[in-house]
Amino acid sequence: MASEEIDDSLYSRQRYVLGDSAMKRMAQSSVLLCGVGGLGIEIAKNIVLAGVKSLTIQDDKNASIEDLGTQFFLHEADINKNRAEASSHHLSELNPYVSIKTLTQKLDEKTDLSYLKQYQCIILTESPLNVQLKVNRYCRSQKPQIQFISSDVFGILGQVFCDFGDEFEVMDHNGEEPKEVFVANITQGSPGIVSTLDNKVHGFENDDTVVFKEVKGMDCLNGHQFKIKVESPCTFSIGETSLLDEYKGGGIASQVKISKHFKFESLEEQLKNPALLHPDLCKLDAPATCHLTYYTLQTFIQKENRYPNVWSVEDSEKFENLAQELNQQLTSPVDCINRQLLRSICFTSQGCLPPLCATLGGFVAQEALKALTGKFTPLNQWLYLDAIEVIPQDPPSPQSFHKKGDRYDLFRICVGEEKVKELANTKLFMVGCGAIGCEMLKNYALMGISCGEQGKITITDNDLIEKSNLNRQFLFRPRHIRMPKSTTAAKAVLEINPGLKIAAQQHKVCPQTEDSIYNDAFFESQDVIVNALDNVEARRYMDARCVTNKKPLLESGTMGTKGHVQVIVPHVTESYGSQRDPPDEDFPYCTVKSFPATIEHCIQWARDKFEQVFVQKPQMFNKFWATNGDIEKVIKKLSNDEALEGSVKVSKSAYTKPTTWLQCVEQARIKFEKYFNHKAKQLLHSFPLDTLLSDGSPFWQSPKRPPTPIIFDADNPLHMLYIQSAARLLADVNGISWTPTDVDVTSIKNLLANVKVPQFIPSSKRIETDESASKGQEDSVISGNEEQETIQRFSKILHNNSNIQVSVITADQKPIEFEKDDDKNSHIDYIAAAANPCCFDRDTLTYTMWDKWEVYGNKDFTLQNFLDHFKAKYSLEPSMVVHGAKMIFAPIMPGHMKRKSHTMVKLLKPNNHTKYMDLILAFTNENDEDDDLEGPPVRYYFNL
């Protein structure tokens, strides 16, 4: 199917990351994947979800019982069936726009490779080294070269190799938005040094290319590209400028993305002289040992026609001797072979670790997309990942690693029977069932987590499945749209492993459910907590609950092409809340409102405008009428000089409130004119281009840039997108129905033909230019006539409409909750179109975030007793006691010193069933009288 016919809601997020050209190249590409075991099916799933033209899966093997522990699209009924044929219809379900084909013939040294010509990328898994070498040679012989990737998982070892040819062009090496900075100064020199405005970090790298615009003085720089050298975080050099005119001011330096070329070597060359990636800086020696081990393993298999026997000392010795021989054949022999790692890979090579398949499956699929699109820097050229940490440090008898003839055999070889049983009896609580949640649940099902008698997985997610979820949340299908994520995901993973014990819920984990559902007793019953969330606030809340209850937390998240994983263990690691992301840049209100100079300013303005028009104003509108009664009462109160909060804004909202779809379109068009044309004209009226500041310098200088009024063009897709999205949102707020035909471009154009747009009339209203001014300061200014105009607007509504129409006008509006994940709701369309381990140490007292102090009281236990407890035990003087948002004790507060004689029961007011409450205490800081020290959480037991 042609790419323009594809429902774009499936690919909206991916298109944002990759761009249109990369998406088109993918949609025209065909990929061959050989081997559909645990790793192969992960690669296939990800490539299909990404949206290539076609994927052919080739596999001559039949499914076995042990495949069920790594290959999630195979079930017991598929045993003895060809793996490719049994998996193909599941892959087809993932994406109807990708053609899935199967080949069942064997790929070996005798195979005629001419059939590979039709593919742009070949991916080999479970292929012997001699076959890899043959296919790689064939791929390099083709013009244009076929991109080649090989990958495999051997027990605890994962491997990837990429060869994209002698001349591989990368159009965008990092996928980041081009950076742009304002210029403060450019020196005349050799080289000339460019300084950024306000010493802002430019973020450029050596050999980046920038282009200048709006430079005054050195005008000849404008429009020309320069390769730069970074001098400091706030300066960079651009070459010879000594002969140029003197810099006078202004200027913007914008990064230009220049394509880069990479040269790859063949597998044959790289085998003995590998270019290795070092993904783990704590194991810098591991990649070299892993490569030698991989080379040794492939050679062992070729010589012996078998894998090393499971946990065989005899085979491991033979394996180690072979490694020593092959090491001398490498261009750079490994100086110090990690024997433990080498032997562990040998012991487990017949096994397969499902999470390693998942990790490499994502990585290889991403490399394939790079090969097809030229987007992002590819692997150059080997990646090795080992999971030696999963092997018990004091392993029991080797027998515990041997196969038992069930679905967990490949996993058992890696971790042993004891660990398999332990995981089966694990109690796990996961919050969120989105993209990460789906992947986690699949991994849990493959490893048999919570399949034992004591095991149980509890999942919760209050969201429903949207169409845009389908290209990354692989457990869901089109038939599941508008169904709960949690229950749907639970049913899907039970198909992967029917033995899984799982309970699906639809509750939010938040303060409102802390007492009734997800209380301390619930958390204490769990062995591990997993976050699969999409927002920081929820992550911090879950982190705090885990710290309070001393439970391990697995935290992860993604944003575009970036991702993070954090393992949080009580008394061992810091928590999620221990570190904070750098605060978002806070833009001055006047900059965002009137002088936006960067895309960030515009996005913030659009987001603020969404909140103001579709959330805050409707909330104020509803509150106003609920508080003040009907319109006649409001007019009477205002006529009697009674101040009514919000009356001015509500009168305007009511006077222009749309009651039909046509009026929604009219208002959207008028808002376009107001925001993007009249506003610019007003700025230029108030501050003409020749306006000077008090010191004689130009008003319009960096970072202020004079605006250009936008002339509405119905043929401009961006202009129409604003009208479409704004009209839809206005209709939703006011309860006005619309149909897909209504929002069609042609229909809206017809309606716009009759819309009268008000002419621009200059205003004398003051425009805020003080960057220290806040929004409230400006909005609080009301002109003298405003009250009378407000009464007039309400009166016109009353006299110009019937009683029924007046009731419609004053009826409640529906504030909109911003939702970024639903691509059909026009929220993002509108934005696009419009633009904490902390430790306290005092003498001999030390505690960490994982500590909790416990105090046991009784019905007569007073606040003074409570304070004396800390004085006696820790020599600390509490300066504040807080429960939730309630201040229990603070000496500086009037009357609080009298509370010392009150009982804790009286102050805290527990319910009959409450056994304890968690309190926060602060203590006097002897080193700083103005800054108290916060102690660990205190759990007070009432013992009533």
Residue 411 and residue 420: Cα distance in Å, rounded?
8
Mean pLDDT of 682-693: 76
- Parallel/antiparallel/unpaired status of strands 121-125 and 147-154: parallel
Q: What pLDDT shows up at residue 836?
A: 25
Residue 372 and residue 374: Cα distance in Å, rounded?
6
Domain ranges in the chain are 3-170, 180-256, 425-580, 589-688+711-762+769-832, 840-941
Cβ 437 vs Cβ 489: under 8 Å:
yes
Taking only the tens place, the pLDDT of each residue in 846-855 is 566 677 888 8
Q: Which whole-number Å values give the CA distances from 19 to 6, 15, 175, 721, 797, in the listed order? A: 15, 5, 9, 19, 49
CA torsion sign, 369 to 373 to 376 to 377?
positive
Bigger pLDDT: 832 or 71? 71
pLDDT > 90? residue 78:
yes
pLDDT band at 371; cut points 50, 70, 90:
very high
- What are the residues whose beta carbons fall under 8 Å from the beta carbon of 574, sequence distance 6 or more? 568, 837, 849
Q: What pLDDT shows up at residue 772?
A: 46
Taking only the tens place, the pLDDT of each residue in 84-137 is 999 999 999 999 889 999 999 999 999 999 999 999 999 999 999 999 999 999
pLDDT > 70? residue 588:
no
Answer whether the bond into residue 484 is a cis peptide, omega within 30°.
no
The one-letter amino acid code at 849 reads M
The CATH code belonging to domain 589-688+711-762+769-832 is: 1.10.10.2660
pLDDT > 70? residue 321:
yes
CATH superfamily of the 180-256 domain: Ubiquitin-activating enzyme E1, FCCH domain (2.40.30.180)
How many CA atoms does the CB half-sphere of 592 hold within 13 Å? Answer: 20
pLDDT band at 593; cut points 50, 70, 90:
very low
Taking only the tens place, the pLDDT of each residue in 394-441 is 766 888 999 999 999 999 999 999 999 999 999 999 999 999 999 999
pLDDT > 50? residue 567:
yes
- The shares of helix, strand and coil residues in the chain, as percent rounded to the nearest 5, are 40, 15, 40
Q: What pLDDT shows up at residue 844?
A: 44
Q: Which whole-number Å values give the CA distances from 257 to 210, 241, 251, 835, in the listed order? A: 9, 23, 19, 22
The CATH code belonging to domain 840-941 is: 3.10.290.60
Mean pLDDT over each residue of the chain, to the nearest integer: 84
pLDDT band at 683; cut points 50, 70, 90:
confident
pLDDT band at 934; cut points 50, 70, 90:
low
pLDDT > 90? residue 609:
no
Mean pLDDT of 210-239: 89
- CA dihedral 764→830→538→508, nearest 10 degrees, is 120
- Measure CA 468 to chain center: 15
User: Does 840-941 match 425-580 at the fold level?
Assistant: no
pLDDT > 70? residue 151:
yes
Bigger pLDDT: 297 or 239? 297
CATH superfamily of the 425-580 domain: NAD(P)-binding Rossmann-like Domain (3.40.50.720)
Residue 212 and residue 219: Cα distance in Å, rounded?
9
DSSP string, 209-224: EEEEEEEESSGGGBT-
CA torsion sign, 470 to 474 to 480 to 483?
negative
CB atoms within 10 A of CB 745: 14
Taking only the tens place, the pLDDT of each residue in 643-656 is 777 778 777 777 77
Interaxial angle between packed helices 745-752 and 661-673, expressed in degrees from 0 to 180 and rounded to the nearest 10:
80
Share of the chain above pLDDT 70, in %: 85
Taking only the tens place, the pLDDT of each residue in 335-364 is 999 999 999 999 999 999 999 999 999 999
Query: What's the start-to-end Cα distance of the chain, in Å?
Result: 72
* Residue whose pair of structure tokens reads 């379109």 in the numeric block: 665
pLDDT band at 841; cut points 50, 70, 90:
very low
pLDDT > 50? residue 835:
no
Residue 380 and residue 825: Cα distance in Å, rounded?
42
Q: Which residues belong to the active site?
A: 590
Residue 281 and residue 278: Cα distance in Å, rounded?
7
Per-residue tokens: 568: 């949080």
- Parallel/antiparallel/unpaired status of strands 502-505 and 456-460: parallel
* Residue whose pair of structure tokens reads 């310098």 in the numeric block: 697
Cβ 729 vs Cβ 830: under 8 Å:
yes
Taking only the tens place, the pLDDT of each residue in 739-798 is 888 878 888 888 888 888 888 887 766 555 444 444 544 444 444 467 777 777 777 777
pLDDT > 90? residue 605:
no
* Residue whose pair of structure tokens reads 């993007």 in the numeric block: 676
pLDDT > 70? residue 601:
no
Note the pTM of the prediction, 2 decimals: 0.71
pLDDT band at 595; cut points 50, 70, 90:
very low
- Measure CA 556 to chain center: 9
- What are the residues whose beta carbons fall under 8 Å from the beta carbon of 399, sequence distance 6 or more? none
pLDDT > 80? residue 636:
no
Residue 557 and residue 536: Cα distance in Å, rounded?
10
Taking only the tens place, the pLDDT of each residue in 619-630 is 887 787 677 777
Q: Which whole-number Å values give the CA distances from 531 to 520, 875, 884, in the listed order? A: 17, 38, 24
CATH superfamily of the 3-170 domain: NAD(P)-binding Rossmann-like Domain (3.40.50.720)
Taking only the tens place, the pLDDT of each residue in 464-498 is 988 888 878 889 988 998 899 999 999 999 999 99
- CA dihedral 886→889→890→895, nearest 10 degrees, is 100
Asked which of 30-44, 345-359, 363-377, 680-694 is least confident by mean pLDDT, the reply is 680-694
